[in-house]
């Protein structure tokens, strides 16, 4: 596979934590973003990239549920956080998060065309500085 043309995608799941095991030499893409945190962590000895599926704002039931799932996983040491970030695509209609094969974080912004089902336009890519340890009070 050519990592310049291939990537892994995993979706945002509202109120849940979705993740992929980083066992392939491919960039990883997830979204759409709605204020979610993206994290690199270890689970059962494997390095993973996860999407903490909040929704709209920190006080919605789904956001509280997703954050509580994460707090429990960290608090019980089921996962060990390596680093994380919160993608924000300023000026774009839709934002996604990405992780390069070198474990660099990116926010990718898109704008929708006349027919959102068939036309999505790349708007921006922004490199993001990770947070070394995730706050438990997300």
- The string of pLDDT tens digits covering residues 10-30 is 988 999 999 999 988 899 999
pLDDT digits (tens, 9 = 90+) for 71-92: 999 999 999 999 998 877 677 7
Pick from 106, 113, 108: nearest CA to 89: 108
Compute the average pLDDT of residues 92-102.
87
Pick from 120, 119, 101: nearest CA to 109: 120
Coil/strand/helix, residue 86? coil
Tokens encoding 46: 């494997």
Contacts (Cβ under 8 Å, ≥6 apart) of 61? 15
Look-up: residue for tokens 């922004």? 126
* DSSP H or E stretch at residue 71: helix 61-75
Residue pair 20/26 in contact (Cβ under 8 Å)? The answer is no
Tokens encoding 70: 């994460």
Q: What is the mean pLDDT of the chain?
A: 83
Residue pair 16/66 in contact (Cβ under 8 Å)? The answer is yes
Coil/strand/helix, residue 120? strand
Residue 66 backbone dihedrals phi, psi, to 5 degrees: -60, -45
């Amino acid at each position: 596979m050519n990592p310049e043309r291939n990537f892994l995608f995993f979706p945002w799941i509202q109120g849940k934590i979705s993740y992929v095991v980083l066992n392939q030499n491919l960039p990883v893409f997830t979204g759409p973003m709605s204020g979610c945190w993206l994290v690199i962590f270890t689970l059962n000895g494997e390095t993973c990239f996860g999407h903490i599926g909040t929704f709209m704002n920190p006080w919605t039931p789904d956001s509280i549920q997703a954050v509580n799932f994460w707090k429990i996983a960290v608090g019980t040491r089921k996962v060990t956080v390596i680093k994380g970030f919160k993608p924000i695509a300023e000026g774009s209609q839709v934002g996604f998060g990405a992780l390069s094969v070198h474990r660099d974080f990116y926010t990718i912004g898109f704008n929708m065309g006349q027919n959102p089902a068939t036309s999505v336009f790349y708007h921006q890519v922004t490199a993001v500085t990770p947070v070394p340890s995730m706050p438990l009070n997300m």
